[in-house]
Amino acid sequence: MTAGTLTRADIAARINQQVGLSRNEAAGIVESILDHMTNALSDGENVKISGFGTFVLRDKAERIGRNPKTGVEVPILPRRVMTFRASQTMRARVSGC
């Protein structure tokens, strides 16, 4: 089984087929949803989509890391990271249970 990639255009095409909106309208809806999610995340909000999963922001503190090649200690600056946690429904569908 080969893994493909689902793109924005694929999502817009599916909306076009199932809802009957024009391709431009469907693409606009996809862009609007992604923009809204991106804006919420950049404002520090988590994004939860019921039955799909949650995009969670975490602030990581400064810490000391080590260069694996040389062994030299290097400070790692504080940063914000985003993780995705799939819902139980999504995990069950993906694993095939």
Per domain, the residue ranges of the chain are 1-44, 46-97
What is the rounded (10 degree) CA torsion for 47, 37, 40, 43?
A: 110
> Can you tell me the mean pLDDT for 71-90?
95
**Fold (CATH) for 46-97:** HU Protein; Chain A (4.10.520)
CA 73 – CA 92 distance, rounded (Å): 42
Which pTM value belongs to this model?
0.76
Residue 86 has pLDDT above 90, yes or no: yes
> Can you tell me the mean pLDDT for 63-80?
94
